[in-house]
Amino acid sequence: MAKTEEQPVSSIGQRKADHLAICANEEVGFRHISTLFEDVRLVHDALADLDERTVDASCTLLGKKLRAPLIIAAMTGGTDEAGEVNRELARVAEEMGVGFGLGSQRAMHVRPSSAPTYRVREVAPTTLVLGNVGVVQAKSMSTEELRALVGGVGADALCVHLNPAMELVQPGGDRDFSGSLDTIARVVAELPVPVVVKETGCGLSPDVGRRLRNVGVQHLDVSGAGGTSWVGVEAKRAAIAGDDASTSLGETFWDWGIPTAASVALLAPLGFRSVIATGGVASGLDVAKAVALGASAAGIARPFLKALRAGGPAGARSAVDAIVRELRAAMLLTGSQNLRALTRSRRVVTGALSEWIEQLSGH
């Protein structure tokens, strides 16, 4: 039987509450590895022939025009607290002209009464909104049920997330990932909206990229290593539950994954329509570096949750504003009038990132 049917509904809500609390309050970043954006240097243009006011950071992503190539990445839904987070961050996204990702809609599927906690269109009528479901849940759902999840929240696209590392560490997590590629192929072929295949903090390799492309996937979110460690989050939950074996597994794999910058650099040449750089994106300069490596946009999750917790909607708004300002500064300083120019700008790749690219290109 599919896990969505087996699992008591209340445990999904409790897990969502744990995730928000742990992500807002505890140290769950990668410990010893980074995104490797520090190994990308954009080249300073001291003679940029530009007026800052005319720098254009806008883009079209998944059919929606954004003022900047940025998404408040998937986090939550399913509880009253989660609904509030969704509405507050979606409103900020609408005001700032950036995209917004809903958290996993599994709770909405098993408990339709939780649907209002995912409804953000009242506060974000025009901006890009992404639905979200795990591939293991998608496998057990009909295309009609998935279509209802998307339609029920007015999403422009559906993220299908992959999270095997986190599930292995999660007490009671999914263990059967067989059939994931077939599921994705079905969903891509049958859903009427674009499908974004998304990791959750361990990154996508070029081999995975090719397998996805071969079944028709056109949009990826690499959600790479270097930001929030979801293995770490689950290790913390396991420790609270007194599950020593899962805690120990989580400690060993805390830093597992492909750094975000490496994932973007390796996947960008493969011909996807969009590659979104999420995972440890810490500044607008990181966004600029991601675009220079070939990303279409960047996503940020936990830092925006923390900004919301610390300063309310105004805090989240100024966190988004800071990212956009930094991106625009990087564009001016590289002489890039728009994102197309930034993509073409020269960059120097050093250190470990150049090793990842060299050793995994073509593999």
Binding site for ligand FMN (CB under 6 A): 19-20, 23, 73-76, 103-104, 132, 159, 161, 198, 200-201, 223, 227-228, 278-281, 300-303, 305
Would you say 288 and 330 are in contact if contact means Cβ atoms under 8 Å apart?
Answer: yes
Distance CA 361, CA 359 (A): 6
Nearer Cβ to ligand FMN (206/279)? 279
Measured from the CB of residue 15, what is the shortest distance to ligand FMN in angstroms?
Answer: 10
- Which tokens go with 81? 């607290």
Measured from the CB of residue 161, what is the shortest distance to ligand FMN in angstroms?
Answer: 3
Measured from the CB of residue 330, what is the shortest distance to ligand FMN in angstroms?
Answer: 19
What phi-psi label fits residue 141: left (phi over 0), alpha (psi between -120 and 50 degrees) or beta?
beta
Distance CA 298, CA 281 (A): 7
Measured from the CB of residue 56, what is the shortest distance to ligand FMN in angstroms?
Answer: 25
Nearer Cβ to ligand FMN (97/227)? 227
Helices 260-267 and 351-360, axial angle in degrees (round to 10)? 40
Nearer Cβ to ligand FMN (7/338)? 7
> Parallel, antiparallel, or unpaired: how do β-strands 99-101 and 64-66 relate?
unpaired
- Which tokens go with 309? 């917790």
Sign of CA dihedral 306, 311, 317, 319: negative
Q: Which residues pair with 221 in a beta bridge?
A: 198, 276
Nearer Cβ to ligand FMN (246/263)? 263
The residue behind tokens 């500064």 is 329
Measured from the CB of residue 280, what is the shortest distance to ligand FMN in angstroms?
Answer: 5
Would you say 292 and 273 are in contact if contact means Cβ atoms under 8 Å apart?
Answer: no
Nearer Cβ to ligand FMN (34/228)? 228
Measured from the CB of residue 328, what is the shortest distance to ligand FMN in angstroms?
Answer: 20
Measured from the CB of residue 81, what is the shortest distance to ligand FMN in angstroms?
Answer: 11
Nearer Cβ to ligand FMN (268/323)? 323
Identity of residue 338: N
Nearer Cβ to ligand FMN (34/345)? 34
Would you say 201 and 224 are in contact if contact means Cβ atoms under 8 Å apart?
Answer: yes
